[in-house]
Structure 1
Amino acid sequence: MRAKLRLFWLFLFLYPVLIFGQINSPERYFGFRMGEDKKLIGWGEIVGYFKYVSANSDRVIVEELGKTTLGKPFIVAIASSERNIKNLENLKEIQRKLAKPYTLGEDEAKRLTRNGKVFVLITMNIHSTEIASSQESVELIYEFATRNDDEMKNILENCVILLIPSLNPDGQQMVVDWYKKYVGTKYEASPMPWLYHYYAGHDNNRDWHFFSLVETRLTAKVLYHDWFPQVVYDQHQMGSDGPRFFVPPYSDPVNPNVLPEIMALTNLFGKYIVFDMVQKGFKGVVTGGRFNAYFQGTMSKTPLWHNRVGILSEAASVRIATPIYIPYGSVRGLGDEIPDNSLSNNNLNPFEEGWWRLRDIIEYEKAATYAILNFSANNREKILWTFYNANKKSIEKGLNEPPFAYIIDLNQQNDPNSAIELLKRLQFAGVEIYKAKKSFIVESKVFSENTFIIPLSQPCRPFIKDVMEVQNYPDIRLYPDGPPKRPYDVTAWTLPLQMGVNVFELKEKKEIQMEKVSLIDFGESKFIGKGNFIVIERRFINSYRLVNLLMKDGIKVFTAKAGDFKGNFVLKNDKVTIDKIKTYSKNLGIELKIVNDLKESELVEIKKKNVGIYQPWITSMDEGWTRLVLDSFYFDYRVFHNKEMKDKKTFDEIDVLILPSMGANAILEGRGFRGTQRIDFPSMPEEYEGGIGKEGVENIKNFLKRGGTLITLGEASNFAIEQLGISVRNDLKNLGPKEFFAPGTIVNLKLNDPDNPISYGLTKQVPAYIINPIAFSTSVYSDKISAIATFDDENVLLSGYLLGSDKIKGKIALCEVPYEKGKILLFAFRPQHRSQTWATFKFLFNAILN
């Protein structure tokens, strides 16, 4: 019976092939052409089609790399000629040798470039509302499997194509479901009111140097561990009213750590795409506008620091799958580099007017894809040689030019856990890390055997140097004496600063006895001493993980309010508690001191808090990152929307309310603050309109009066200042960019009130990330306002760009404001920014626990 069932299901799977004698096209398989107006396929259908093609083609293999954040399959398809597919392991070995040519000489490298293939990684749909590329993916895989013309034979013979049809499958399905639910109604193509990545939303394309997200880590295996593609092409969409399509060259500034030959080759690819597309009649294809390749974190550009070609395309959007009309004269430019739609070297064939459909986007993206594949196939040996040569050059630079290494001694860290986490993140990027075999001395400085070394003599030297050093972003003005030009994203990403890790830069050659470490982790926790109390120092970031797990199990946790262990976590040493600690502290790398010299009168119990996070129907990426950080450290919380915020009963159920960074008006009014909506824009379903309103404000006030804690992050502090009647001002609120400008900058904070529990576990100086113009001052108040942390009054800038530093020097960056029985904690910075700022996580954690 089972055998018959297996035959039955096999017959159903192969039925289309048996009937038609060939692999069905997507149009026949799904019943409509991809890109047809108001028609979409979801993730399950895409995966099903990819598997169907793979099962019936000798040119295509589909691999599941793992599961997404919400448990969907995350896949990559490998496409090449039948001969290359059969020889795939040998081709991968050639890739590995060219990618890591430590002992590879020129003669052998030339032989490998003759025999190797260009590996091209095509990634799609990282931003889920940019839906076209996910629909395009099934057409591409069909054509790779079935086309037999000379162009395709040449591509498949000379290239191995790695195709990831969506970098965010969870969001792809969300967007398809939302669109289909309302198509044909007044809500058609309305914006989805929740993040399309469960944690990051649009910021899932800011994680490619830090690897906080599951999907980023899965793709990193393809990029830096298993396949080593020389060419990376990431497909995006942009606004609707500018040029139709952007490809490199990128705009200025140029990052000095990217090798010039890699940027030149990327530019060459981009210009070839333009040439090919213009020749085929595509209009509105531009280069050099808005998008630069200076900052770390994006899928398309981070590979540049790994000596790979990194190509971003941006197609003009429609309203998901609903077409739009572009009237004559309405097409705008693209940033300061392309101020309008006139003919220029950056815009050789302007698009002027006409209908714009989802199908048009697919056609543009496919044309660019084939231009990239043809250029790769026709210049195979040159691309492979450039890849080898750039990697070899990076290794040699690391041997002959400072810095020669970055050194991290765990014994010299306030928080060894964060240092280990930094090393783990670097390993995701393919960085090779070593550990000292014994202690050593450099420049009269002694380093212990507990020291890790990151040599710069590696192929990914540009990446290592870029993420470890301080950024000095150039001062670019829109015009002489004018305001600064806004960078595309941020100006600072120095990982040691963001994570609070002490790093020594080795500027002289030094022989260090060391061994390569294949897998870095926190290691076992240590139990030191004997006694009736267990002390867990807050300086270890993993202490919060342990404490949260223990409190979930009902174990009482205390804080020492005086004495040698002031501010640290304390537990009573009994069998149940010690057994739980031994279970939960495995691989947390914490030191637990078991002592007698503590008095119960010195202890204050930490009660487990009921935490609420406000989640607006205007999507907030900061809210998503907040949830990721809290989930990562095992904090429990509930998410509240406008309806719950307007309900008094909600506030009876929580002790702490967190308002993530978002504008004051957005919290109060939701989408309404944006003013009158155009008649042709889709309406929003009524349940997703508005903000917390006056009812929500009154509920927050009463919650505070009864003893609640309100935590406002970044911009949300303006809401507290404006709506809650406290004597705190944001001194930067009305300043323009000519007076103050900090577009993603790392600054130096000074602990002004180290006795405040919010400061526990932190050092006297703390690097913090600022991205909004916020600095506090206070006036006379009925109770003590604690200025917990201030911006340093001397050396405030640590990394990135900061205009108007005098406006924040000595100003309050974090304060605690009493509010009858409750309190408000106002952050001028984002302590959990993009899940990267480990140096300031403890501020948030302490605010919740205390």
Structure 2
Amino acid sequence: MFRTTLLALSTALLLRVAASAQSVPTPKEHFGFNIGDDYQLATFTQTEAYFKKLAASPRTKLTVIGKTEEGRDQFMMIVTSPENHKKLARYQEISTKLARAEGLTDEQARAMAEEGKAVVWIDGGLHATETVGTHQLIETAYQLVSRNDPETMRILDNVVILMTHANPDGQELVSNWYMRNPSPEKRSLENLPRLYEKYAGHDNNRDFYMMNLKESQNIGRQLFVDWIPQIMYNHHQRGPAGSVLAGPPYRDPFNYVFDPLMITGIDAVGAAMYNRLNVENKPGYTRLNGSVFSTWYNGGLRTTTHFHNMIGLLTEIIGGPTPENVPLIPSRLIPNGNTPNPVTPQRWKFRQSIDYSVSLNYAVLDYAARQHDQLLYNIYRMGKNSIERGSQDYWTLSPKRVESINEMYQADQKKTPVAVASTASVTSGTATAPTSATAPGSTTAVSDQAPAPRGEGIPTKYFTAVLRDSALRDPRGYIIPSSQTDWPTAVKFVNALIKTGIQVQQATADFSVAGKKYPAGSYVVKLDQAFRPHILDMFEPQDHPNDFQYPGGPPIRPYDAAGWTLAYQMNVDFDRLLTNFDGPFKRLPYGELQSPTSKVSGSGAGYVLNSQVNNAFLAVNDLLKAGVDVYRMPVGTDSAPAGSFFVPSSAKAKSVLDASGMTVTSAGKRPTNVRKVKPMRIGLWDTYGGSMASGWVRWLMEQYHYPAELVYAQDIDAGNLKKKYDVIVFVTRAIPAVGNARGENEYGGAASRGPKAEEIPADFRPWLGRITADKSVPQLKQFMESGGQVVTIGTSTNLAYHLGLPVRNALVDMGPNGQERPLNNEKYFIPGSILRVTLDSTQQATWGMPTLTDVYFDSSPVFKLAPEAIAKGLVKPLMWFPNDKPLRSGWAWGQAYLRDGVTAFMAPVGNGKLYAFGPEITFRAQSQGTFKLLFNQLYGLEE
């Protein structure tokens, strides 16, 4: 009997192995080369065909998760054992139920964790020029499908792997570009002609709390709604010079809204990753402060998962199809906690990077296989923690609150001096501020802080006074009233939450909370849910610590933005509720997007479109395209502010407005003094290689149906611009600084000037060139003098200096030689953050804007305008900083230097105009609260 049973088991195992390996071609059999061979890249067309062949394996299921921006299929291959595929729907259900942690007891969760399989996401190719990413995905998929060793079998038995291609369009472009040269040694990834994601290029990894792009939406649906994996692994390049790769764990600061289990989960998986490399004698892994990567930022493919309790992993590795050298960086040769096993200088091959990546993938998968029940239970525990925190009074720790404790203690010490045993100051645990002086508008300098007794701390009453202050506790939820003026934009904000898996409720009837009435249709977002960290991050300001290299030294630049609060960027009205509340609310299904309802009342003489509503500009463009006359109202009324649109009654007008998604009121009679809107011929600057900022504006104009045409430096240098355009838009980094005669962009260097014409195909040569002071600026000046308008954003406001306008840089001090110089970082430093400005909303340029608004500011230009120039009408200020504390979200060191600085202005130039907007008013197509500052300039008005 025993021998019969043993024989049956052996036969079953052999059949399983044989079935798993059937008809799976090797990469070389399909592509004609091994993955990682020098000078060889696979196109997406070839890769897609290969994955379809791998789909013949019983270990795989190939799914299409959506279309890309260029219309290709974006695929995700699900890899697990044949037995698990039979129960895939159940394992998916377990994964999502545990992640959301709704209505489960700990015992139920443990039972589900025991039953379930770990779900691990591995992607590749998001940044298409980082070619290791796509190719490791191919090699890993092949090995998982073809190998039958015990480790692989254990992984397949205990893990469901979601292998996702993050950017098909980019792979096709990049690989074809590299392989176009028949001589392998001459192949190069340099001088790619356009962005490798149609609109965003590299910024496709900054779109994951907004999800504007189709690829982001496809990926986000899988990550945050349909599967919610416990681990996601995002492959990137490149590692810091002198290392092979950077990986987890990451440097501080991490975002204070995270569950600590997520941070320690990263530590645990990271240990498995670098331990495996060390076992395999693969040196060069650096972590923590060995690289720039942190877990502060939201919006990246990896980082947004952190706010959803997932163990989000990022590695940045060297390598590519063209062999390279690991450079000698002496400081990297010393083993330390950041780099325990340094790599020595050597020649580096593509295949080495592929082998490292496969090892790292297997390390993650083996960890998940061995700890699958723990991973499933832990994501439940993090979700349950969030639900509990959102159901009671809770105070999130942050630098400002710790600083408040210090300030309160120090104030008392000054009232009652005491002897102390130490000169050590009480700090927040983050890097301290400079000790020499207090920068204007900054926090208290360390030298001014009263010390606490060594080892004794300070009385806990100070903790209680701040971190048990009922006014400072976290909210229980938010209400987004449907009565707000720009309701369609508020719905877009709600959809951004829904796309990231947030549970949203909607009122089915009018209701009241805390004595305030709200109308039916209002949205409610409560914080007693698993993804509470993400909700807080979208509504609440970020409090980035003062992070310096050393006391008195320069600041450490954040990996990306320091502050980004989406509700602020989109200018959404919401109320923050500190106590529990309820009402006639219905729960919306997870992932179900919302659409604003059009309300077109009456007919009368015509219709009025409120210019405070972004969708009004979309409707106007559709009306103009349909041949309907549209007028603007320079003088506002009680119900419509200045700049609103008037549309005479007609069946065609009503048909367009019925699809506008906005509330349109009727006018009993035609308003007086209206001016007819003229569509303008719009030019949008771009450059060879593509500009991400221009790409986002192109996407934005397509969404709002503006007919823009790309214009390149050669077009501008050729002159006669007024024959083609009425307005030209220059995004940041288009106009060089004064003195930059060669037209280098802000990255500098020869490469920034682009390739030689003979080095690229003839079709792309018209895109070459840079805006220059000697050729381009005179043509732009002539364009404006003849009646054209130029809109400049960010650093492209440099054009004002080229034109000699009476404006100067506000962010300067006096150097030792008596000359003005830009403020250094020790005095003034504002990385990407949200600041508040005042507007002159009576100007045509600012119609529809509130008098106070939030802007995205990233070391943006700020100006001083000569008073006599303002008086003479040579410049008109549009936006400025009214005080010394404009910071709303993020980090602003020395923000007092901004006081009274002008951050946007208009200047007549001949018969035309220059508009200069220092802040990033179209930032990544997210800052919807300031879109109107661009849209207003894209219409002409008949006299």
Provide the TM-score with structure 1 as the length reference.
0.92
Partners of 1:758 and 1:441 in 2: how far apart? Answer: 38
Deviation, structure 1 residue 418 = 1.5
1:298-309 residue pairs with structure 2 within 5 A? 298-309=300-311
Counterpart residue number, 2:120: 120
Q: Say whether the 8 Å CA contact 2:242–2:343 is kept in structure 1.
A: no
| 1:816 aligned onto 2:906 | yes
| 1:701 aligned onto 2:781 | yes
Deviation, structure 1 residue 825 = 0.3
Counterpart residue number, 1:65: 65
Q: Say whether the 8 Å CA contact 1:671–1:690 is kept in structure 2.
A: no
Partners of 2:546 and 2:538 in 1: how far apart? Answer: 20
Question: Are residues 620 and 669 of structure 1, via their aligned partners in 2, closer, same or farther at CA, if it must alter by over 3 Å?
Answer: farther
Equivalent residue in structure 2 for 1:541, among 602, 614, 619: 614
Deviation, structure 1 residue 674 = 7.0
Counterpart residue number, 1:335: none
Partners of 2:111 and 2:85 in 1: how far apart? Answer: 20
Equivalent residue in structure 2 for 1:372, among 349, 364, 368: 364
Deviation, structure 1 residue 611 = 0.3
Partners of 2:527 and 2:628 in 1: how far apart? Answer: 46
Any idea what SS the aligned residue of 1:62 has? strand
C-alpha distance after superposition, 1:75-121 (max 9, x if no partner): 00000001001111121122222122211122222221111000000
1:439-454 residue pairs with structure 2 within 5 A? 439-454=510-525
Q: Which amino acid in structure 2 is aligned with residue 393 of structure 1?
A: N
Equivalent residue in structure 2 for 1:767, among 854, 862, 869: 854
Any idea what SS the aligned residue of 2:307 has? helix
Equivalent residue in structure 1 for 2:482, among 391, 410, 427: 410
Counterpart residue number, 1:259: 259
Partners of 1:802 and 1:676 in 2: how far apart? Answer: 29
Counterpart residue number, 2:830: 742
Number of residue pairs matched by the alignment = 811
Any idea what SS the aligned residue of 1:410 has? coil
Counterpart residue number, 1:10: none
Q: Which amino acid in structure 1 is aligned with residue 651 of structure 2?
A: K
Counterpart residue number, 2:3: none
Q: Say whether the 8 Å CA contact 1:741–1:773 is kept in structure 2.
A: no
Question: Are residues 682 and 574 of structure 1, via their aligned partners in 2, closer, same or farther at CA, if it must alter by over 3 Å?
Answer: closer
Any idea what SS the aligned residue of 2:249 has? coil
Counterpart residue number, 1:179: 178
Partners of 2:141 and 2:698 in 1: how far apart? Answer: 36
Counterpart residue number, 1:9: none
Counterpart residue number, 1:479: 550
1:252-651 residue pairs with structure 2 within 5 A? 252-288=252-288, 289-318=291-320, 321-327=321-327, 330-331=328-329, 340-401=332-393, 402-411=474-483, 413-518=484-589, 519-564=592-637, 565=640, 566-582=642-658, 584-585=659-660, 588=661, 590-599=662-671, 601-617=672-688, 619-651=690-722
Q: Which amino acid in structure 2 is aligned with residue 575 of structure 1?
A: A
Any idea what SS the aligned residue of 1:215 has? helix
| 1:825 aligned onto 2:825 | no
Any idea what SS the aligned residue of 2:253 has? coil
Counterpart residue number, 1:11: none
Q: Say whether the 8 Å CA contact 2:621–2:706 is kept in structure 1.
A: yes
Deviation, structure 1 residue 689 = 5.2
Deviation, structure 1 residue 822 = 0.3
Counterpart residue number, 2:169: 170
Question: Are residues 674 and 437 of structure 1, via their aligned partners in 2, closer, same or farther at CA, if it must alter by over 3 Å?
Answer: closer
Q: Matched residues, percent identical?
A: 28
Which deviates more from structure 2 when the two are superposed, residues 637-646 or residues 682-691? 682-691
Partners of 1:469 and 1:674 in 2: how far apart? Answer: 33
Equivalent residue in structure 1 for 2:811, among 725, 732, 736: 732
Q: Say whether the 8 Å CA contact 1:561–1:603 is kept in structure 2.
A: yes
Partners of 2:345 and 2:169 in 1: how far apart? Answer: 35
1:797-816 residue pairs with structure 2 within 5 A? 797-816=887-906
Any idea what SS the aligned residue of 2:36 has? coil
Deviation, structure 1 residue 21 = 6.4
Deviation, structure 1 residue 626 = 1.1
Any idea what SS the aligned residue of 2:377 has? helix
Partners of 1:407 and 1:386 in 2: how far apart? Answer: 30
Q: Which amino acid in structure 1 is aligned with residue 132 of structure 2?
A: A
Deviation, structure 1 residue 653 = 0.7
Partners of 1:523 and 1:640 in 2: how far apart? Answer: 35
Question: Are residues 154 and 550 of structure 1, via their aligned partners in 2, closer, same or farther at CA, if it must alter by over 3 Å?
Answer: same
Deviation, structure 1 residue 188 = 2.9
Question: Are residues 163 and 670 of structure 1, via their aligned partners in 2, closer, same or farther at CA, if it must alter by over 3 Å?
Answer: farther
Q: Which amino acid in structure 2 is aligned with residue 745 of structure 1?
A: S
Q: Say whether the 8 Å CA contact 2:489–2:614 is kept in structure 1.
A: yes
Question: Are residues 218 and 45 of structure 1, via their aligned partners in 2, closer, same or farther at CA, if it must alter by over 3 Å?
Answer: same
Question: Are residues 673 and 363 of structure 1, via their aligned partners in 2, closer, same or farther at CA, if it must alter by over 3 Å?
Answer: same
The answer for unaligned runs of 5 or more in structure 2 is 1-17, 394-473, 813-821
Question: Are residues 204 and 672 of structure 1, via their aligned partners in 2, closer, same or farther at CA, if it must alter by over 3 Å?
Answer: closer
Deviation, structure 1 residue 201 = 1.1
| 1:841 aligned onto 2:931 | yes
Counterpart residue number, 1:208: 208
Any idea what SS the aligned residue of 1:803 has? coil
Which deviates more from structure 2 when the two are superposed, residues 229-238 or residues 804-813? 804-813
Partners of 2:938 and 2:793 in 1: how far apart? Answer: 13
Q: Which amino acid in structure 1 is aligned with residue 725 of structure 2?
A: I
Counterpart residue number, 1:32: 33
C-alpha distance after superposition, 1:606-627 (max 9, x if no partner): 1001000110225421111111
Which deviates more from structure 2 when the two are superposed, residues 82-91 or residues 681-690? 681-690
The answer for unaligned runs of 5 or more in structure 1 is 1-16, 333-338
Deviation, structure 1 residue 795 = 4.2
Partners of 1:736 and 1:80 in 2: how far apart? Answer: 55
C-alpha RMSD over aligned residues: 2.2
Partners of 1:675 and 1:526 in 2: how far apart? Answer: 52
Deviation, structure 1 residue 39 = 0.7
C-alpha distance after superposition, 1:537-577 (max 9, x if no partner): 11121111111111112211110122514311111112333
Partners of 2:253 and 2:356 in 1: how far apart? Answer: 27
Any idea what SS the aligned residue of 1:710 has? strand
Any idea what SS the aligned residue of 1:249 has? strand
Question: Are residues 671 and 683 of structure 1, via their aligned partners in 2, closer, same or farther at CA, if it must alter by over 3 Å?
Answer: farther
